[in-house]
Amino acid sequence: ILCIIALCLIIASCYQIFTYRKKQQIILSELNEKENLLLQKDIELREEKISVQKAQEGWKIQEGEIIMSKKIGKGSFSNVYVGTWSPLKNVPVAIKVMNDQNATIFDDSETLLLQRLRHPRLVLFFGTGILKKENKVFLVSEYMSGGDLMNFIKKAASSGDYEAMYPWKKRVKDAMDIAEGMNFLHSQEWVHRDLKSANILIHSNGQCKITDFGLSKSLQEISKEKQTVYNNNKKKKKEVVISVT
């Protein structure tokens, strides 16, 4: 009987040891898997950081690469010139020079947005740089020879024949172009916050494109700030009302 009891104890001890080692192996295996996942995530984050750095490098334009020919627009935050950018040779481009000397390239919301978003109804962005002597940021984008929609409407209104200058067919087409561009922005969870006729540019082919994203923000950022109304230029103009619950 003692031998049987001893044998049972030995078997039980062996089973416990086997079970313990099995659990240890499972735990070690899980730890290795988690470690590998963390390592993979770390690699992915590093690769993403490298790709972002490369992308930023790709958007940088040297001052010597641009030539500003003529001022075509002036605003509270910037002046716009028509000029050339050496990689595009003789193709005219729009060069926006920010008035604020403290403006930075990659923290500016307009630059970040334009870097990420590409659409036929958004003005094409080429890159950005710094005018070293003035210490001002400039942005290079496609040149829209038709000017802005606000001036076009003013010219049509003062022509004496508004219907002929700006027929309903053209108005509906422009509205569709703008709606298409805004729909894309919203699909990317961005709000323009300064949509107006002055920020709609007209291509030489008559197509409208949205520009001036300096006031744009993501819905996540707006939600964090719990912002409900944006007052444009202190005129209490309720362009966009966003409810945040």
pLDDT digits (tens, 9 = 90+) for 25-80: 888 888 888 888 887 877 777 666 555 555 455 568 889 999 999 999 887 778 99
| CA–CA gap between residue 59 and residue 52 (Å, rounded) | 11
**In the prediction, which pLDDT does 149 show?**
96
Residue among 105, 84, 106 at smallest CA distance from 95: 84
Total number of residues shown for the chain: 245
The pLDDT mean for the chain works out to 79
State pLDDT tens for residues 171-224: 999 999 999 999 998 888 788 888 999 999 999 999 999 987 655 555 555 555
Percent of the chain with pLDDT over 70: 74
Position 146 scores a pLDDT of 93
Average the pLDDT over 4-20 and give the result. 78
Spatial separation of the C-alpha atoms in residues 143 and 67, rounded to whole Å:
14
CA dist 170 and 189 (Å) reads 29
Pairwise CA distance, residues 245 & 243, whole Å = 6
Catalytic site residues? 194
Higher pLDDT residue, 93 or 60? 93
What distances in angstroms separate CA 36 from CA 32, 44, 45, 49, 96, one per listed residue? Answer: 6, 12, 14, 20, 47
Q: Which residue has the higher pLDDT, 244 or 85?
A: 85
What pTM value is reported for the model?
0.63
Q: Whose CA is closest to 81, among 138, 135, 121? A: 138
When mean pLDDT is compared across 16-20, 57-61, 152-156, the lowest value belongs to 57-61
* pLDDT for 242: 41
Work out the pLDDT band at 161, boundaries 50, 70, 90.
Answer: very high
Q: Are 181 and 188 in contact (CB under 8 A)?
A: no
pLDDT of residue 239 exceeding 60? no
Which of 69, 84, 76, 65 shows the shortest CA–CA distance to 129? Answer: 65
Give me the pLDDT at residue 189, please: 79
Query: Degrees (nearest 5) of the Cα angle 180, 137, 229?
Result: 50
Considering only CA atoms, which of 48, 59, 58 is closest in space to residue 108?
Answer: 59
With residue 238 as reference, give the H or E element that holds it: strand 238-241
pLDDT score of 220: 54
What is the 3-class SS of 36-100, one letter each residue?
HHHHHHHHHHHHHHHHHHHHHHHHECCHHHEEEEEEEEECCCEEEEEEEEHHHCCCEEEEEEECC
pLDDT at 47: 63
